[in-house]
Amino acid sequence: MQKKVVLLIAKQFWITTFKIKSVYALLAIISILLMYATYSGWQNYTIQNNIRLHFQEKVRQSWEANPDKHPHRMAHFGSFAFRLKHPLSVFDFGMESYTGNAVFLEAHKQNTVNFSEASFSTGLLRFGEISMAMVLQVIIPLLIFFLGFASVASDRENGTLKIMLIQGTSWKEILLGRSIGLFACMLVFFLPIMLVTLFLLAFSKDAMFSPEVMLRYLGICISYILFYQLVCIVTVWISATSKSAKDSLIKLLAIWLGFFILLPKTTQALGNYFYETPSKIEFETAIERELIKEGDSHDPDDPHFQALKDSLLRAHNVTSVEQLPFNYSGYVMQEGEKISTAIYNRHLDGLFESYQKQNNLSSLIAFINPYLAVKSISMAFSGSDFNTYVDFQKQAETYRYRLAKEMNELQIKFISNKKLGPNEKPYAISKKHWEEFPDFRHQFVPLNTILKRESSSMITLLLWSIISIGFMLNQSKKLKAI
């Protein structure tokens, strides 16, 4: 196989492709889509993040503005946790529009994450959003099919292929040359999108000079390059094995419809069918039922807490809770918080496990459909996947439990057990304790965690890339000019 011949064939394909006027029309359409996706992505990122940071600051000011009061009242006053958007969500919206971004944190109760963009939008959002990732994942492969469906089939139809083979050009050189030429044409559409993304990251104060964000960006670029290399090889191979350009185009359109539209939707439906998840009412009812069975701290006649009271009195050799050296109510609230949190986290982990099984099905299907692999990698590195959302929920719950525990400990330490008279001032502690308690700060998932989670998808893309090249070179011996 001669390198010069391969490059010559690639160059010839490039020149021929850009002689077609319709290619420039497609380039214009892609550019318009890109400009719209860039504008909407940047606007969404900056506006949403500014809103969330603004209200997180307002929440903090409201928290610190509380006067001296009983710490249990502060536990119920609560706080809010806001989920920030990752700088790379400009590139890939992922699940951002469908997952909530704010949760109210209070003692004794775990609230759901609310205020998703989908809940405020019309049903048009169901048709999808135009993001830069969507253009790369769905539109560009279709464009590659359009540019390459006749790459070899047209030469067979007009007799050029037979002449090339008679002159000594091998099938390997033809297939590799056309694949490289098609890949080069794809770069004309791909590179501007990635350069625009890099440009936006340079203007993002959260991403500027951040090695982790740049490594995420690099991971996205490599994943898409591997994916497009596969798509280009498949396109040229289908063209080479088709009797006519028309047959090649029909086959490629069928592949696009099946692998990019039908199979992903079917995979989601199968995941929901095999691993059904409870409704919100069923989920909360199950927690409430177990909580009542385990011990309700707000019920004075609850057997668990009655036994706890008796054991405390015996341990301290006293006859009433007023004689205990610490605040009994705070101790009970602390115990109740521990029980309710453990029950909630157990049920939540079970729910997340069901969702993970659904996602694992998609990862398994990704070995058949590499589109699912690149989509999963793109969302994960852009900080807009389901695991990132789950991580936010866990951070918020950890902060909520810490807040409740801190307020309970302040009550245990500083509030007396003595009952107040009708004219006595309610117990209160200094507001400096609220000021000392740290604010919630959302932290993004570390890169090494993402690499572990997406290892199967990355291996899938790499295997498809290697196998496709090997398969094409090996099977090229069986191809015929007629």
- Residue-wise pLDDT for 153-201, tens only, equals 998 888 888 888 888 889 999 999 999 999 999 999 999 999 999 888 8
Q: Exposed e or buried b for every residue in 228-258, given b needs 16+ CB within 10 A?
A: bbbbbbbbbbbbbbbeebeebbebbeebbee
* Residue found by looking up tokens 């390459």 in the block: 148
Question: What is d(CA 53, CA 439) in angstroms, rounded to the nearest whole number?
Answer: 12
pLDDT at 122 over 50: no
Residue 1: which pLDDT band, with cuts at 50, 70 and 90?
low
Contact yes or no for 78/106 (Cβ under 8 A): yes
pLDDT for 383 equals: 93
Q: Identify the CA nearest to 77 among candidates 60, 97, 93, 94.
A: 60
% of the chain at pLDDT higher than 70:
96
Q: How many residues does the chain have?
A: 482
Question: What is d(CA 249, CA 231) in angstroms, rounded to the nearest whole number?
Answer: 14
Residues 6+ apart with CB under 8 A from 481: 156, 161, 162, 165
Contact yes or no for 474/172 (Cβ under 8 A): no
Instruction: Take residue 301 and report the two structure tokens written for it.
Output: 């006649």
pLDDT at 4 over 50: yes
Residue 473: which pLDDT band, with cuts at 50, 70 and 90?
confident
Residues 6+ apart with CB under 8 A from 1: 170, 172, 173, 176
Question: What is d(CA 371, CA 224) in angstroms, rounded to the nearest whole number?
Answer: 10
Amino acid type, 331:
Y
Instruction: Take residue 310 and report the two structure tokens written for it.
Output: 């008796």
pTM of the model: 0.90
List the Cα angle 169/172/177 in 5-degree steps: 80
Instruction: Take residue 211 and report the two structure tokens written for it.
Output: 């090695």
Cα radius of gyration (the chain): 30
Q: Which residues share a beta bridge with 105?
A: 79, 110
Question: What is d(CA 189, CA 199) in angstroms, rounded to the nearest whole number?
Answer: 16
Instruction: Take residue 157 and report the two structure tokens written for it.
Output: 């139809």
pLDDT single digits (tens) 123-144 = 444 545 789 999 999 999 999 9
Instruction: Take residue 343 and report the two structure tokens written for it.
Output: 């029950």
Residue 120: which pLDDT band, with cuts at 50, 70 and 90?
low
Mean pLDDT in residue range 336-357: 91
Q: Which residues share a beta bridge with 104?
A: 80
pLDDT at 64 over 90: yes
pLDDT at 450 over 90: yes
Contact yes or no for 153/191 (Cβ under 8 A): no
Question: What is d(CA 473, CA 463) in angstroms, rounded to the nearest whole number?
Answer: 16
The conformation of residue 258, written as its DSSP 8-state character, comes to I
Order of strands across the sheet that contains 102-106? 79-82, 102-106, 109-110
pLDDT at 146 over 80: yes
**Separation in Å, CA 124 to CA 35, 100, 120, 174, 266:** 20, 18, 11, 45, 21
% of the chain at pLDDT higher than 90:
58
pLDDT single digits (tens) 264-273 = 989 988 888 8
Q: Identify the CA nearest to 80 among candidates 94, 98, 62.
A: 62
pLDDT single digits (tens) 359-380 = 888 888 989 999 999 999 999 9
Return the number of other C-beta atoms located less than 10 Å from residue 208's C-beta: 12
Containing 103, the helix (H) or strand (E) segment is strand 102-106
pLDDT for 293 equals: 85
pLDDT for 77 equals: 93
Give the residue, 122 or 296, on which the prediction is more confident. Answer: 296
3-state class (DSSP) for residue 97:
coil
**Separation in Å, CA 119 to CA 131, 175, 284, 353:** 19, 49, 21, 25
pLDDT for 119 equals: 55
Residues 6+ apart with CB under 8 A from 298: 108, 336
Counting Cβ atoms within 10 Å, is residue 124 exposed (0-12), middle (13-18) or buried (19+)? exposed
Residues 6+ apart with CB under 8 A from 197: 88, 90, 91, 132, 217
Instruction: Please provide the distance, in angstroms rounded to a whole number, between the alpha carbons at the two ends of the chain.
Output: 22
Question: What is d(CA 172, CA 391) in angstroms, rounded to the nearest whole number?
Answer: 48
Q: Identify the CA nearest to 363 among candidates 341, 385, 394, 339.
A: 385
Instruction: Take residue 119 and report the two structure tokens written for it.
Output: 């809940």
Largest CA distance in the chain: 109
The conformation of residue 122, written as its DSSP 8-state character, comes to -
3-state class (DSSP) for residue 429:
strand
3-state class (DSSP) for residue 136:
helix
